[in-house]
Structure 1
């Protein structure tokens, strides 16, 4: 059986472990809390993140990162985006030689404005003192409209597996293809990652609008113009424009902006209803990646002189304390432009 390591026992890491096991892989999950690891092994479910979902027998958990990484053909990274670098610096010496590094994370690193694959390449290359191009060929990204609770319940879903090396993408595609989970391959890592990172920010914006009761026209407008922002940034970074019309772009954006299972949408809805940032963080409990990544996405856009007004508005509400109604008026009063702008 194909050996897979999944670093992270949150909802998405757990759900993808189910997918891998259902596809015929043997999976070892790593978790930082020994109590949760013990509970997963004893009860065959993740009581903190996916209670009620029975894990396949091919899934086990450990608090030992070396044990999880040993002989893994695929090493899946499913930790919060802003913790990746610190965690991976500790794990890199433990990784199996030649393992394919799979990012499930949808964020941009604060301070560096680097995508998750760039962080992985940088850390792993530094550790191995190897060739960056060689590492890049075994860094893959899995993204798309992938709400963890639905996938763990084995409801039909599709995704994109992206890697600069198409053969590696096809290997990962085979490793996670099940009757209910249909992965497509892509070599546009930049576009796939940007689609996943920016959709969290737009999900916050749509959630805020829903919390304010602004209606479906506002929602549709934010989704559409949010996709335009994403595509503009992607174009500046060399992404394939077609990526944003697919699962990693429009597909993921629609799921995040329309589902109550989306943490970013839920977070934004609470802000739009008048909750403070601290109250919203306490109510959401799980990580809403867009809360931190909105700043780094805006940083990335400014470094490439890309105009992203919705992202800028989200940052002003979430981090600058601007009242949503004031931010809305400022956004709507921007000068009129041609749609292709």
Structure 2
């Protein structure tokens, strides 16, 4: 499969992220078909002759859409790309694991990075990562989406790249709380750094390479999401610190804050495997209304003292 001619790209999910990715591929001269549940085009028509099928739907819709796609005749050389950041609440699987289970003989590529869709839509420069166990598939997707404003890197660790983008959403909620309580730069730096340590700890259990979390899809995405009011997860934390209830916040939030669901699934998994995740634990308790933002902070600060790398 070569990439020196226009490719057909099917993008599932016409939200902000799906639309931005569609525009990037289209600007590179590729034929792009965008599908959404409420759209006029059928899923089968959109998938017709697609060399790349990219999923940018929210986590709650992934399993259902995978089942629908599986009912169609998909060419063996078609590459699946997942750009969803989350964990399935029923199975605790990542999006790529759901796609790969349904299509075991197809290449699956994870696309993730510090990519606030609003900034990319404004054509501000950004970088991302595409990762796959099939290097040629990652390189093919890299070519389709790379541009002078959107730099795409490849990576051989799809699990780490996917988890980086998923786990940082929980830390972003905590970061929003930190800013909402006006705790200062020192507190924020400490929180984000320890949050990264937590992400690495969980990632190692899942089989990810620790160094992946220090790249664009881990540290890069963490910095972007923890420092921008454009981040929905950051907004959840910030508004919780301001005294709003989670139900109030989610009712007025444009799009999905994946960190809310991720936090619940992640804590369940961490408790099963006895993985210490103190920040995730306090974010969960805050989301459930069990503690106030100030109480969550106090409990983190008053934990037993310990070595840093432990």
Using structure 1 for the length normalisation, give the TM-score. 0.86
Match of 1:93 in 2: 71
Pairwise CA distance, 1:95: 5.5
Match of 1:103 in 2: 82
Tell me, what secondary structure is at the counterpart of 1:174? Answer: helix
Aligned residue among 74, 80, 92 for 1:113: 92
Match of 1:149 in 2: 118
Moved more, 326-335 or 12-21: 326-335
Aligned residue among 143, 151, 163 for 1:182: 151
1:18 matches 2:23: yes
Whole-angstrom CA distance in 2 between matches of 1:256 and 1:232? 20
Whole-angstrom CA distance in 2 between matches of 1:184 and 1:299? 32
Instruction: List gaps (5 residues or longer) in structure 2.
Output: 1-5
Match of 1:129 in 2: none
1:3 matches 2:11: no
Instruction: List gaps (5 residues or longer) in structure 1.
Output: 35-61, 126-131
Taking only aligned residues, the RMSD between alpha carbons, in angstroms, comes to 1.3
Whole-angstrom CA distance in 1 between matches of 2:72 and 2:307? 53
Aligned residue among 25, 34, 38 for 1:29: 34
Matched-pair contact (CA < 8 Å) for 1:69–1:95? no
Match of 1:51 in 2: none
Using structure 2 for the length normalisation, give the TM-score. 0.95
Whole-angstrom CA distance in 2 between matches of 1:321 and 1:91? 40
Q: How far does the alpha carbon of each residue in 1:56-92 deviate from its partner, in whole angstroms, 9 at most, with x for none?
A: xxxxxx4311111111100010111122101211222
Pairwise CA distance, 1:320: 4.2
Whole-angstrom CA distance in 1 between matches of 2:116 and 2:123? 11
Matched-pair contact (CA < 8 Å) for 1:65–1:94? no
Whole-angstrom CA distance in 1 between matches of 2:179 and 2:24? 32
Pairwise CA distance, 1:116: 1.1
Aligned residue among 289, 294, 299 for 1:330: 299
Whole-angstrom CA distance in 1 between matches of 2:74 and 2:25? 18
Pairwise CA distance, 1:319: 2.2
Aligned residue among 262, 270, 285 for 2:231: 262
Matched-pair contact (CA < 8 Å) for 2:236–2:246? no
Tell me, what secondary structure is at the counterpart of 1:112? Answer: coil
Pairwise CA distance, 1:24: 2.1
Pairwise CA distance, 1:290: 0.3
Moved more, 82-91 or 248-257: 82-91
